Structure 1
Amino acid sequence: MWISIVVQAVAGLGLFLFGMQLMSDGLQKVAGNKLKRSIEVLTSNRFIALLVGTVVTMIIQSSSATSVMVVGFVNAGIMELTQAFGVILGANIGTTITGQMVSLDVSKWAPFAIAIGLLMRGLKKSVRVGNMSDIFIGFGILFMGMDYLKNGLEPLGKLPEFQTMIIQNAERPLFGILIGLVMTVALQSSSATIGVLIALASQGLIPFTAAVHVIYGDNIGTCTTALISSIGTTPKARRVAMIHLLFNLLGTLVFLAFLNPLVVPMIEHWTPNNVPRQIANIHTIFNIINVAIFFPFGNWFIKAVNFLVPDKKNAELILDDNTRTLDDRILASPSIALHRVIVAIQELADEAGLAVESAIKACQLRDKNYVQETFDHEQRINALERRIVEFLVKLSQESLSEDDSALIDELFQMVADIERIGDHSENIAEYVDANIDAGVELAPESVDDLNQVFKKVKEGYHLMSESLVDGDVNKAQLAMETENDVDDLKAIVRQRHIERMNKGLATPMSGIFVMDLLSNLERISDHYRNICESILEMEGDIQVS
């Protein structure tokens, strides 16, 4: 009997978790940029942060995933602790939606939901319809899993030892809390723990008074994911995980010490003889009441975690800035992770722009300090490029919409083009360095000609860089026009220098130097033209401000 119970219960739980994940993926894809913008609108206003935390967690169906993302945001320096406090509290409310949903006896509609989803997928006329189909299919599979789970656990009621254990421990709060904590840590999902409790309750296998304490433990156990995720992060990021733990611990103490005698009878009165609904309701009310109690004391919480997780000398310098900007914890929400990649690519383009400027100054001023500056910029470009590519590879393995997958392909190409601009800037610096050592001098006319090319390349790169930040396609088109100008200037300057060499006004060594410079300047303009083409292709997708 035990083998049959375990196999069916595990199968049901697996379907439940798979359905929840599929539904979450569909919701995230449908939300898309709206989910990204919901994070962007965060200000120091904790009420907005609370609302965003609630909505985002309803979408991704996991308070643990939200808290891990927030750890990543704070670690990357894109969110402050005051904002994080509101989001974490909102996540605790948002996660209760799953329990409310599965407590409803709508399993008979599960096949219809799956059928609708499959029909939408078969007749898919747009990406959005395809994403909506995942929501319906996930919803259906989730409730099919609940049915399997309920049926699998039903035989437990016939086992005297199970009944004895429940009766003996129904009034032992610490035992129930421990069970809830262990279950949630093991399943890595507070919603799964609630699902198991509701399945047990639907078969009359657990009384409400026993389930209450398991739910308290479930709320504490869900904090472990963020705590583990915060290992190796900055002190600020670790404080986020500590806020989550402190909130749920204090909330449990408040209910055990004061509110249980009031809240539990009230919920039993609201939904008599319906333990599954009572379980969902205590989970929701536990979190709403605790938010109402502790939300006004946000500053106290922040002071408390600052004391518990003190700053360490130079702690912020331990982590590489690039690693922090693209924190793997943000991958839990692909649309937000994609937004952070675009920000990192803009930083990469800025660094490449500085490399171009330094290389040109090295040539104009014949100054080895600018040569070294160019080399330094190139090293930073390579480091950031490697991190972006690594992050994009991981992101491409997540569940993505078709639009986001296409966008990632464009971003890979864009990163490659920016990295090549850094390489060509380094080439120019190396040529300048070698020619300074060799004592090669250029005629004033050649210097004037090259300055025209330098000016046009800088103009085009500046337009491209601005377009990359604000998404202005007009600037991208203007930058592409400068690439044609650079090609024309290259031909003119090359011909003039050849004429000067034929007249003996320039040396062969200077000729090689000028040709190498022109070749690399042209390649820089080719690559920023490629980037502009990508910007036009991604119109509306790259703007982050």
Structure 2
Amino acid sequence: MNISGMVLGLIGGLGLFLYGMTLMSDSLEKAAGAKLRGVLELFTKNRYVGIIVGVVFTAIIQSSSAATVMVVSFVNAGLMTLYQAIGVIYGANIGTTVTSQLVSFNLSQYAPVFIMAGVLMLMIFKNPTVKKAGEVVIGFGILFLGISTMSSSMGALKELPAIQNLFMSLDNRFFALLLGLVITAIVQSSSVTVSIVLLLAQQGLLPLKICFFIILGCNIGACMSAMLASLSGKKNAKRAALIHLLFNIIGSIIMAVILLIGSDWIEALIMHISGGNLGRCVANTHTIFKVFQVIILMPFMSWIVKLTYLIVPGEDNDVEDEYEMKYIGDGDRLSSATAIPQVCSEISHMGEIAIGNLEKALDALLTKDDKAAKEVFEVEKRIDYMNKEITDYLVKANQISLPVGDRKKLGALFHVVSDIERVGDHAENIAEDVEKLIDMKEDINGMAGDEIRRMQEMTVKILHLSMDMFNLEDDSHLQEILDLENAIDAKERELQDLHVKCLTTGECSAQVGMMFSDLASNLERVADHATNIAFSILEEDPEGDKPPKVELA
């Protein structure tokens, strides 16, 4: 084999390896991402349990970058605190070593079997989850096919004296660490870099002592994905990414000092543990270093969290008075596993603002508070802004590969955002009447005012129940919501009758009577939107029928 053939073989093998790993990781996220995410949220209340969860979670999805990006997104969405996140981040650093352990075993000869098995799963089964599992198996096979291709090319390259001299001349430990850092930051996967180092060591092209320092550099370079994901996030998201970075920087410094003092006996120990197999030596080194770092830094978890507050000072802004999103960024760095939880948190936040604005509008109308009415108009501008930003975010989320469960929710979320925006519109309609009442020197008071207050209480209650149902994805309030919706419809008819009575008896002017009628209609339509929000979490029935959507006049 000539040099150009060897180089092409290396490039092709690396391409297959990268594609196989990406396909396997992405398919696992799509097949089980929502369930894994639920496990992650459930079992991270204790930071030490979080370490175990982080190990298992990352070992399954085969990517510490994906796991830490997910954690950063959870922190940004308020679903996880920094003290819960740190345990998962520690565990993710151990879990990522599973890939190099798999690579160190000679499974390349079985690659065609995995690929064929995956293809059959795609062709035979119709279930989306099984199809994604088939993609996982194909990715696993392609990964080892790439390893086989790279290994063959490296085996030929090592016969060239120039190549041998080039690799064996890498005796500068600082340069080795920097090399691992830069390459990993570029490919955004320590598993890929460590696997390549493993293959080079197997072929005798890299001495084990240099591999140690390249691995330390890989650990730091792997933090790039989380750092990038945190850029558009809140301060706590930046702190979560910093925890990952600080863990690896501090841990790598400690390991580097230990290696400088006693690299010979460490090398001898790892060689003994690995039975003299250089590939296994690299894989075991990767795992041992990570486990050692976790053990050493475990007592200092709280200190590391506090250190991130010194580096990123201040509190997260509540952004109540700013046109700024609380949980989602610009959508340019969407994580498939956390895009939907983040946007659901933002939709919930939008719902809270809309409900508060509706209450303020009703209070402003009944008290003729012009200042409060103007505040309603300003908040409505923010709701319109949120509607546009969330809708744009959902469009971008629709263009990426989402977990199967999240993909099913996407269409309903568009409707929920629209319904909340319409609640805001009705609040604005109500606030517009305040100035008219002031100009006419009229009031909505007496019995009419009391009846509107009762209808307001019912409408606000159904909105809160519907948003709770949306947030918790729990239909336990469904019957209460339906009963309330019927009661509000009945109340609206009652108020319309009262309106006619007031007009015929001359108790109110025609203008105030019309305003009263419109107010009752607005509240009834708000209740319809609330019911639609509640129905959004209900899945289609086995025959494919969707839950009924309330028709709005």
Matching of residue 97 in structure 1 with residue 95 in structure 2: no
Q: Which of 249, 263, 285 is equivalent to 2:266?
A: 263
1:126 aligns with 2:117: no
Equivalent positions of 1:456-475 (< 5 A) are 456-475=458-477
**Amino acid across the alignment from 1:178:** L
1:75 to partner: Cα distance: 4.7
The reply to whether residue 194 of structure 1 matches residue 197 of structure 2 is no
Q: Which residue of 2 aligns with 1:396?
A: 398
| Preserved CA contact (<8 Å) 2:423 2:526 | yes
Find the residue that maps to 1:32 and give its secondary structure. Answer: helix
CA contact (8 A) 2:54 2:95 kept: yes
How far apart are 1:260 and its partner, in Å? 2.5
Aligned in 2, Cα 1:291/1:538: closer, same or farther, shift over 3 Å? farther
Q: TM-score, normalised by structure 2?
A: 0.86
Residue 366 in 1 paired to residue 368 in 2? yes
Query: Among the aligned pairs, what percent are the same residue?
Result: 36
* Distance apart, 1:310 and its partner CA: 5.7
For residue 52 of structure 1, report the CA deviation from its aligned partner. Answer: 2.5
Cα pair 2:118 2:136 within 8 Å, conserved: yes
What amino acid sits opposite 1:134 in the alignment? E
SS of residue in 1 equivalent to 2:105: coil
CA contact (8 A) 1:480 1:532 kept: no
**1:4-83 equivalence runs, <5 A:** 4-41=5-42, 45-76=46-77, 78-83=79-84
Distance 1:506 1:250 in 2: 80
Which residue matches 2:511?
Answer: 509
Q: Classify 1:324/1:153 alpha carbon distance in 2 versus 1 (closer, same or farther; 3 Å).
A: farther
Q: Tell me, in whole angstroms, the C-alpha distance in 1 between the residues paired with 2:88 and 2:445.
A: 64
1:293 aligns with 2:296: yes
Kindly state the Cα deviation for residue 79 of structure 1 after the two structures are TM-superposed. 4.0
Gaps of at least 5 residues in structure 1 are 540-545
> 1:98, CA displacement in angstroms?
0.6
Q: Describe the superposition over 1:417-454 as per-residue Cα deviations: whole angstroms up to 9, x where unpaired.
A: 11111111111111233222232344745445544533
User: Is this contact kept in 2: 1:268–1:278, CA < 8 A?
Assistant: yes
What amino acid sits opposite 1:91 in the alignment? A
User: 1:107 maps to which residue?
Assistant: 108
In the alignment, residue 455 of structure 2 is paired with which amino acid? Answer: V
How far, CA to CA, are the matches of 1:533 and 1:456 in structure 2?
18
Q: Measure how far apart 1:101 and its partner are.
A: 0.9
Q: Distance in 2 between matches of 1:413 and 1:349?
A: 13
CA deviation map 1:330-357 (0-9, x unaligned):
9765344322332332222222221222
Counterpart residue number, 2:177? 177
Q: Secondary structure at the match of 2:206?
A: coil
Q: Secondary structure of 2:537's partner?
A: helix
The answer for the alignment partner of 2:438 in structure 1 is: 436
Deviations 1:111-137 (A, max 9, x none): 211222222222225333223212211
Task: Tell me if structure 1 keeps the 8 A contact 2:202–2:279.
Answer: yes
* Mean CA deviation greater in 448-457 or 91-100: 448-457
Checking the alignment, whether the CA contact within 8 Å between 1:114 and 1:137 is kept in structure 2 is yes
Instruction: Give the CA deviation at 1:142.
Output: 1.1
- Aligned position for 1:212: 212
Task: Decide whether the 8 Å contact of 2:100 with 2:195 is kept in 1.
Answer: yes
The count of residues paired between Structure 1 and Structure 2 equals 536
Q: How does 1:191-340 map to 2 (within 5 A)?
A: 191-231=191-231, 237-238=238-239, 239-302=242-305, 304-306=307-309, 309=311, 311=313, 316=317, 323-326=325-328, 333-340=335-342
RMSD: 3.1
* Aligned match of 1:417: 419
Q: What CA distance in whole angstroms lies between the structure 1 residues aligned with 2:293 and 2:483?
A: 60
Aligned to 1:543: none
Query: After superposition, what is the alpha-carbon deviation per residue over 1:234-263, rounded to whole angstroms, capped at 9, x for unaligned?
Result: 665244254234234324323423452232
Letter in 1 for 2:48: F
In the TM superposition, what whole-angstrom CA distance separates every residue of 1:184-225 from its partner, at most 9, and x where no partner exists? 123222111122223334444334344333222222322344
The aligned residue for residue 542 of structure 1 is none
Question: Do the aligned residues in 1 keep the contact of 2:384 with 2:421 (CA within 8 Å)?
Answer: yes
Asked if the contact 1:110–1:141 (Cα under 8 Å) also holds between the matched residues in 2, the reply is yes
- TM-score, normalization: structure 1? 0.88
Summarize the Cα distance change of 1:366–1:175 in structure 2 as closer, same or farther, 3 Å threshold: closer
**3-state DSSP of counterpart to 2:456:** helix
Question: Which amino acid letter does the alignment assign opposite residue 515 of structure 2?
Answer: F
**Structure 2 runs not aligned, ≥5 long:** 542-553
Secondary structure of the corresponding residue to residue 158 of structure 1: coil
What SS class does the counterpart of residue 264 from structure 2 fall into?
Answer: helix
**In the alignment, what sits opposite 2:343?**
341
